[in-house]
Amino acid sequence: MKFDSLLERYHFDKYVLDVCIATIEQGGVTSKLDTYQFLSPIDAWAIPKYPDKTVILPPSADLQKALSTFIVQNELWLRMPDCWLGTWIEPDTP
């Protein structure tokens, strides 16, 4: 990702941390990369728009690093008007 200023980079880093924290605290979150908007939590199931882009992390993963890498690698799709970033923790994961 390209940032025009250090402030833009810090806003991105904060967004990634907010996604990580919400994922851990709420069990998952849906957000929009281009606006950093978060949807209100609901009890629902969703199917990935691009299943081949799905990444499953082990519980020991560095979520912040993995999420940043995922966003950079998929920025083109995540910036599409009808695409959202969804994270969740599998309830059966210890």
- Tens of pLDDT along 22-57? 999 998 999 999 999 999 877 777 788 888 999 989
What total number of domains does the chain contain?
Answer: 1
CA atoms within 13 A on the CB side of 58: 2
Task: Tell whether 93 is covered by a domain.
Answer: no
Distance CA 51, CA 54 (A): 5
Q: Is residue 1 part of a domain?
A: no
SS3 35: coil
Q: Comparing 1 with 78, which gets the higher pLDDT?
A: 78
Query: How many C-beta atoms surround the C-beta of residue 16 within 10 A?
Result: 20
Judged against a pLDDT cut of 70, whether residue 92 lies above it is answered with: yes
For residue 16, give its domain range. 6-88
pLDDT greater at residue 58 or residue 8: 8
Q: Would the pLDDT of 90 be above 90?
A: no
Q: In what order do the strands lie in the sheet with 85-88?
A: 37-38, 28-32, 85-88
Q: Given this model, what pLDDT does residue 37 score?
A: 95
